């Protein structure tokens, strides 16, 4: 038996929520897991339940809903996002798609249109390729007071490691790591904290200051005396 597609619904309008719930309940291949009008609470449910899709109903205040779609698209890429609204103007549809929604449902929901969207959501999940998880290793070097050589030990541990290594200096006020490596970092943990809501692999990589060990100097040629 094929597993049903699971859904969560965000709607600040109770009538819209009831209409979406009724439409999903009428479909044998759909199951509603959670719903509500609080985006933060619903986000926690999406992370916990990992639904197939999330339906976000757009109200008169579309900006908040669009920001929520952007957040889900960035942080929960495996969840198919569906926007729904009574206003099905091209501008509204385009804004939701640009925010990260994969589909758009017109309210009130048509059964035929909902089945089309369900089929596309099923295709989305069927074609997803699970990326292998790469496990890393973290080594912490610390001391009870400064001047004990923690930066020296950490730097040499990183230099001797075979895989690519990311060095992090958590002494935010007086860290010596840039001095040891001769670097001038452009970003700090403050920048990561300010952008924590949209952190992904690419953004984290952009915050890291690259460093490569200098190539060893070639040894001077040894003079050879050739007998006459």
Residue closest to 5 by CA, chosen among 26, 30, 24, 23? 30
pLDDT at residue 228, rounded to an integer: 45
Query: Residue 131: which pLDDT band, with cuts at 50, 70 and 90?
Result: low
Q: What is the DSSP string of the chain?
A: -PPPEEEEEE-SSHHHHHHHHHHHHT-TTEEEEEEES-HHHHHHHHHHH--SEEEEE--S-HHHHHHHHHHHHHH-TTSEEEEEES---HHHHHHHHHHT-SEEEESSPPHHHHHHHHHHHHHHHHH--PPPPPP--------SSTTSSHHHHHHHHHHH-SS--------TTT--HHHHHT---S--HHHHHHTGGG--HHHHHHHSPP--PPPPPPPPPPP-PPP-
Note the Cα 115 to chain centre separation in Å.
29
Residue 224 has pLDDT above 50, yes or no: no
Cα–Cα dist 42/51, whole Å: 11
Domains defined for the chain, CATH in brackets: 5-127 (3.40.50.2300), 150-207 (no CATH)
pLDDT tens column, 132-183? 666 778 888 888 777 788 888 988 888 888 778 888 888 877 788 888 888 8
Give the residue, 169 or 68, on which the prediction is more confident: 68
pTM (2 d.p.): 0.59
């Amino acid at each position: 038996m094929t597993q049903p597609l699971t859904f969560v619904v965000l709607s600040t309008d109770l009538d819209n929520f009831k209409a979406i719930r009724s439409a999903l309940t009428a479909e044998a291949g759909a199951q509603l897991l959670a719903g509500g009008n609080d985006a933060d609470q619903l986000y926690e449910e999406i992370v916990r339940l990992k639904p197939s899709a999330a339906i976000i109903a757009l109200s008169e205040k579309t900006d908040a809903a669009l920001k929520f779609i952007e957040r889900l698209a960035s942080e929960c890429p495996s969840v198919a996002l569906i926007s729904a609204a009574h206003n099905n103007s091209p501008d509204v549809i385009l804004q939701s798609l640009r925010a990260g929604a994969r589909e758009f449902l017109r309210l009130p929901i048509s059964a035929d249109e909902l089945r089309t969207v369900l089929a596309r959501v099923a295709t989305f999940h069927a074609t997803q390729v699970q990326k292998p998880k790469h496990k890393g290793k973290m080594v912490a070097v610390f001391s009870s007071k400064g001047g004990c050589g923690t930066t020296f030990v950490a730097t040499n541990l990183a230099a001797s490691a075979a895989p690519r290594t990311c060095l992090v200096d958590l002494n935010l006020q007086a860290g010596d790591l840039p001095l040891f490596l001769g670097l001038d970092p452009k970003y700090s943990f403050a920048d990561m904290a300010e952008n924590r809501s949209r952190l992904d692999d690419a953004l984290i990589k952009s915050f890291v200051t690259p460093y490569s060990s200098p190539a060893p100097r070639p040894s001077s040629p040894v003079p050879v005396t050739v007998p006459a």
